[in-house]
Amino acid sequence: MIDAPGIAFQVLQSVFVVLAAPLLMGWANQCRAWLQNRSAPSILLPYYTLAKLFHKDVVIARNASALFRVTPYVVFGCMWLAAGIVPVLATDLPFAPAADIIALVGVFALARVFSALAAMDIGTAFGGLGARREMLIGFLAEPAMLMILFTAAFISGSTQLNTIVETLAYREFAIYPSLAFAAVAFLMVLLAENARIPIDNPTTHLELTMIHEAMILEYSARHLALIEWAVAIKLFAYMSIGIALFLPWGIAEAGNWGALPLAFAALAAKLALAGAGLALLETL
């Protein structure tokens, strides 16, 4: 039997993730400006930037292959898929079985490989430099991410993220020292995977110190907009994974649609605190 309400809510959650991701990025940038005693940009600035880029004409190098053209769509799709299947508002949604922690890390890895290949496709020095650095970070961060997720999987007895969340949120409260160490490691992985300070600086203009930005120097217009949007979705996805693993309380149980308003409010509060905390870490 088709679970029409569940599918509808799954689609609604996926759309919410895509639309809210730039808002989270704008909130983090605004908090960082406040902490640095600067005039803060509008929290809606990422939306204005995306709209401006989508209205520009694409400029592509003559020697660019089809890989270079298709990569922004692949990266955006991977990030949307990863963020859409993570249980952020409710558990046991129709696509919950797809949220296997190993597959989730694989989706992020697929986007990284496409980005690195596209950066080297044009043949520019900075693209190759950024691609090599990005792959090095992935080589170090992906095994750490798997170990973090396996820590939670051992507690719940499953690699399904949905089961892990239900176990940690609704089982009798217990203190797991291993999760405390995993949370510290996850914070380091989040900073590395999302090109945040001190691993990378997303606002830098120095080519020799760029990692992620060096890979997208040749992109423009809608292609650049999709990549920037994917970056925001990836940050949202990683914060959602962190919330699901270490602060799962407040998420609605399966079938309890009446708890969704509370789950939405809890998620908004957690993301606001996470964005402010990220800005604080980057300012210290």
Place of tokens 């217990």: 174
Place of tokens 């909130």: 27
pLDDT class of 201 with cuts at 50, 70, 90: confident
CB 164 within 8 A of CB 92: no
Q: What is the pLDDT at residue 88?
A: 80
Does residue 99 carry a pLDDT above 80? Answer: no
- Nearest alpha carbon to residue 76 among 86, 87, 88, 84: 84
Average pLDDT over residues 168-196: 83
Q: What is the pLDDT at residue 254?
A: 62
Q: Across the chain, what does the average pLDDT equal?
A: 84
For residue 49, the enclosing domain spans: 4-283
Residue 226 neighbours by CB under 8 Å, 6+ apart: 72, 73, 75, 76
How many Å apart are CA 86 and CA 103, to the nearest integer?
12
Does residue 255 carry a pLDDT above 70? Answer: no
pLDDT class of 180 with cuts at 50, 70, 90: confident
What are 160's strand-pairing partners? 100
Does residue 147 carry a pLDDT above 80? Answer: yes
pLDDT class of 273 with cuts at 50, 70, 90: very high
Q: What is the pLDDT at residue 60?
A: 85
Average pLDDT over residues 191-215: 78
Q: What is the pLDDT at residue 263?
A: 81
- What's the total number of domains in the chain? 1
How many Å apart are CA 134 and CA 113, to the nearest integer?
9
pTM (2 d.p.): 0.89
- Nearest alpha carbon to residue 199 among 136, 144, 146, 149: 136
Q: Which residue has the higher pLDDT, 177 or 227?
A: 227
